[in-house]
Structure 1
Amino acid sequence: MKRLAAVVMGLALFGSFGKAMAAAPADTLAEVKKKGVLVAGVKDSLPPFGYVDEKSREIVGYDVDFVKAIAKKLGVKVELKPVTSASRMPQLTEGNIDIIAATMTKNPERAKQIGFSHTYFATGQKFITVKGKVKSLKDLEGKKIGTAKGSTSEQNVKAALPTATVLSFDDYPQAFLALQQGKVQAVTTDEAILAGILAKAPNKAKFEIPNVQISNEPYGLGMRKDDAKFIAFVNKTILEMEKSGEAKKIFEKWFGKGTDFQLKRTFKIVADK
């Protein structure tokens, strides 16, 4: 009887596994065209990459505009699904989304699990601190530092500051709230994200982003690893966006003059070697 129960349980587990595997199409490009919708995993609380606009109540941002451009090229609609740094890769591999456009740094570890587009945004990891408190990395030794779970920022800061206590939150706004409450002495992630958080803070004059950088962070659009046709299509599309000036236009819209961030575009989208 026990043996029969074990067999039944095994078949049930296999069935569940099979459904999860079946949820991820073998050819996303063909499947997206067939269903007429591109499902994208994006951030929904991280200006200006992905956040809910107060007036329209829709998710907007730099990452969203890239997804919309890809969908337009495909001739399909876009469905946006909010993801976190920790949930985005599982959502992709389980077939719940077709593409990740969520401030995702390309690195060798992740590249073993999923496929990446060419770099469509480049930044570096820095910190938000109370103004005047941090002049060098040494000033953060032994301190409590907030970041997001499942991010490369979490790994990088542990390597750069082994004596620090790293507290990981569900997202960066929560980490910044901890800084405001004095529970951490710094928040760390990519400079562009930090600039977005600080720009929206009502008490932003109390904080700053010191010129202390611990890594380079190239962002890629994430797709399933063996989905070669879709990856090639996305790469071709974003290279065309660079050539036409559309990619630069999107950057200026979200980061350029007239925005709260006023970052300079120091990169171009090129074919990765």
Structure 2
Amino acid sequence: MKKLGIMFLAMAVMGMLSGAAFAGDTLADVKAKGVLVAGVKDSLPPFGYVDETTRQIVGYDIDFVKAIADKLGVKLELKAVTSASRMPQLTEGNIDIIAATMTKTPERAQQIDFSYTYFATGQKFLVKKGTVKALSDLEGKKIGTAKGSTSEQNVAKALPSATILSFDDYPQAFLALQQGKVFAVTTDESLLAGMLAKAPNKEEFEIPDIQISDEPYGLGMRKGDKAFVDFVNTTLLEMEKSGKAKEIFEKWFGPQSSTPIKRNFTITADN
């Protein structure tokens, strides 16, 4: 029994060591295999969704990882992830980078490393028109959001009397709102605007000007993967300087887009 315990301990140590070595070599590994594997959302416009014409995943997040892959001189492979699965997929080595509307938090930063902020928004609510004028109107109500998201945590703190119903993704939560199963859906304003823009009955809903948090998005990489993090950060700064980052924003959120919002941030080394 003692020998068995020692064997399992040795295997665990070897696993940790191999994982640490793998994490530190992502940049070299990606170059060697010629492919960057990115975990992205596939049902959350305009960040990541399946284009009805091409059947390809497109969006704001995809354009950013495409730029990183191009800078590396490798192909881009996309894998669909959810809010709950994205970090496990990264730490288990199934993807190289997370580009999936991921808010940077101190808790998450203990498990993975983040890039500089490449998008910034705030958490709000999507409701039926005329039903919400103040945060107090949401007290004691059923509110839908996504499992494993910061939105789930934030709304529980902001509205302790509310009943939080967590779905696998935000489109499911929005469907519950349309069916009258929840009173509101909460997540980042940019995501709510994207869902609303695609809704056939969008005139029935609105996003009140009630914000409960700031949400800075970062690209997620394995902990301690310094060379890769540095490369990604350098690329992001170059994209900001060249105007490429703003160009991507205007494409998905500019005045001519289906989800027009103002760009109230720039990519800097301080965020």
* Alignment partners' CA distance in 2, 1:62 and 1:229: 24
Amino acid in structure 2 at the alignment position of 1:247: A
* Alignment partners' CA distance in 2, 1:9 and 1:115: 32
Amino acid in structure 2 at the alignment position of 1:18: G
Aligned residues: 270
3-state SS of 1:90 partner: helix
Hey, what does 1:245 align to over in structure 2?
243
2:72 to 68, 71, 74: 74
Hey, what does 1:83 align to over in structure 2?
81
Hey, what does 2:159 align to over in structure 1?
161
* Alignment partners' CA distance in 1, 2:9 and 2:52: 45
Unaligned runs of 5+ in 1: none
2:55 to 57, 82, 102: 57
Aligned pairs (5 A) from 1:149-188: 149-188=147-186
Report the alpha carbon displacement of residue 24 of structure 1 after superposing the two structures with TM. 4.0
Which deviates more from structure 2 when the two are superposed, residues 24-33 or residues 124-133?
24-33
Aligned pairs (5 A) from 1:61-140: 61-140=59-138
3-state SS of 1:122 partner: strand
Identity %: 74
| Residues 142 and 203 (structure 1), Cα distance of their counterparts in 2 relative to 1, 3 Å cut | same
* Alignment partners' CA distance in 1, 2:99 and 2:107: 18
CA deviation map 1:75-110 (0-9, x unaligned): 000000000000000000111100000000001010
Please tell me the root mean square deviation across aligned C-alpha atoms, in Å: 2.0
3-state SS of 2:24 partner: coil
Q: Is the Cα contact below 8 Å between 2:23 and 2:224 reproduced in 1?
A: no
Unaligned runs of 5+ in 2: none
Q: Is the Cα contact below 8 Å between 1:116 and 1:223 reproduced in 2?
A: yes
Aligned pairs (5 A) from 1:4-43: 7=4, 11=8, 14=11, 18=15, 21=19, 24-43=22-41
3-state SS of 2:166 partner: strand
| Residues 24 and 147 (structure 1), Cα distance of their counterparts in 2 relative to 1, 3 Å cut | farther
List structure 1 runs of 4+ shifted beyond 6 angstroms: none
Amino acid in structure 2 at the alignment position of 1:243: K
Q: Is the Cα contact below 8 Å between 1:24 and 1:93 reproduced in 2?
A: no
Q: Is the Cα contact below 8 Å between 1:23 and 1:95 reproduced in 2?
A: no
3-state SS of 1:154 partner: helix
Q: Is the Cα contact below 8 Å between 1:41 and 1:101 reproduced in 2?
A: yes
TM-score, with length taken from structure 2: 0.95
Hey, what does 2:259 align to over in structure 1?
261
TM-score, with length taken from structure 1: 0.94
